[in-house]
Protein backbone atom coordinates (compact mmCIF):
# COMPACT_ATOMS: atom_id res chain seq x y z
CA UNK A 1 0.00 0.00 0.00
CA UNK A 2 2.81 2.38 0.81
CA UNK A 3 4.43 1.79 -2.59
CA UNK A 4 1.13 2.51 -4.34
CA UNK A 5 0.68 5.64 -2.22
CA UNK A 6 4.13 6.90 -3.19
CA UNK A 7 3.46 6.30 -6.87
CA UNK A 8 0.28 8.38 -6.68
CA UNK A 9 1.97 11.02 -4.57
CA UNK A 10 4.92 11.38 -6.93
CA UNK A 11 2.66 11.59 -9.96
CA UNK A 12 1.06 14.69 -8.44
CA UNK A 13 3.92 16.12 -6.42
CA UNK A 14 6.69 15.42 -8.91
CA UNK A 15 5.24 17.64 -11.61
CA UNK A 16 4.48 20.45 -9.15
CA UNK A 17 7.98 20.34 -7.63
CA UNK A 18 9.63 20.25 -11.07
CA UNK A 19 7.69 23.35 -12.16
CA UNK A 20 8.59 25.14 -8.92
CA UNK A 21 12.27 24.27 -9.27
CA UNK A 22 12.31 25.38 -12.92
CA UNK A 23 10.68 28.69 -12.00
CA UNK A 24 7.63 27.91 -14.14
CA UNK A 25 5.28 28.11 -11.14
CA UNK A 26 5.72 30.69 -8.37
CA UNK A 27 5.52 29.25 -4.83
CA UNK A 28 2.77 31.75 -4.04
CA UNK A 29 0.56 30.03 -6.63
CA UNK A 30 0.54 26.74 -4.72
CA UNK A 31 0.69 27.81 -1.07
CA UNK A 32 -1.95 29.14 1.28
CA UNK A 33 -2.28 32.90 0.70
CA UNK A 34 -0.09 34.92 3.08
CA UNK A 35 1.52 31.77 4.50
CA UNK A 36 5.04 33.09 3.84
CA UNK A 37 4.18 36.35 5.62
CA UNK A 38 2.76 34.47 8.60
CA UNK A 39 5.77 32.17 8.86
CA UNK A 40 8.10 35.17 8.55
CA UNK A 41 6.30 36.98 11.36
CA UNK A 42 6.42 33.92 13.61
CA UNK A 43 10.11 33.32 12.92
CA UNK A 44 10.94 36.98 13.58
CA UNK A 45 9.34 36.58 17.01
CA UNK A 46 11.66 33.67 17.77
CA UNK A 47 8.94 31.03 17.67
CA UNK A 48 10.25 27.55 16.86
CA UNK A 49 8.45 26.20 13.80
CA UNK A 50 7.89 22.54 12.99
CA UNK A 51 6.66 20.90 9.81
CA UNK A 52 5.15 17.44 10.16
CA UNK A 53 3.54 15.24 7.53
CA UNK A 54 2.37 11.69 7.09
CA UNK A 55 4.51 11.56 3.94
CA UNK A 56 8.08 10.23 4.05
CA UNK A 57 10.49 12.89 5.26
CA UNK A 58 12.52 12.99 2.03
CA UNK A 59 9.48 14.02 0.02
CA UNK A 60 8.42 16.55 2.65
CA UNK A 61 11.86 18.18 2.62
CA UNK A 62 11.96 18.24 -1.18
CA UNK A 63 8.60 19.95 -1.47
CA UNK A 64 9.30 22.37 1.41
CA UNK A 65 12.49 23.44 -0.35
CA UNK A 66 10.72 23.85 -3.69
CA UNK A 67 8.04 25.96 -1.99
CA UNK A 68 10.75 28.10 -0.35
CA UNK A 69 9.52 27.10 3.10
CA UNK A 70 12.32 24.86 4.39
CA UNK A 71 14.34 27.71 5.91
CA UNK A 72 11.48 28.49 8.30
CA UNK A 73 11.72 25.04 9.86
CA UNK A 74 15.46 24.32 9.77
CA UNK A 75 16.05 20.81 11.13
CA UNK A 76 12.43 20.50 12.29
CA UNK A 77 10.92 18.90 9.20
CA UNK A 78 9.44 15.50 9.92
CA UNK A 79 7.67 12.83 7.91
**Predicted model pTM:** 0.80
| Under 8 Å between Cβ of 76 and 50 | yes
Own/partner pairs, 4-9, CB within 8 angstroms, 24+ separation:
6/56, 6/59, 9/55, 9/59
DSSP state at residue 78: E
- pLDDT tens profile 31-72: 999 999 999 999 999 999 999 998 889 989 999 999 999 999
Cβ partners under 8 Å of residue 39, min gap 6: 49, 69, 72
- pLDDT tens profile 12-21: 787 888 888 8
Amino acid sequence: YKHAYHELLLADMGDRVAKLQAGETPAADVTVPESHALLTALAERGIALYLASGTDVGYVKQEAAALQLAHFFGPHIYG
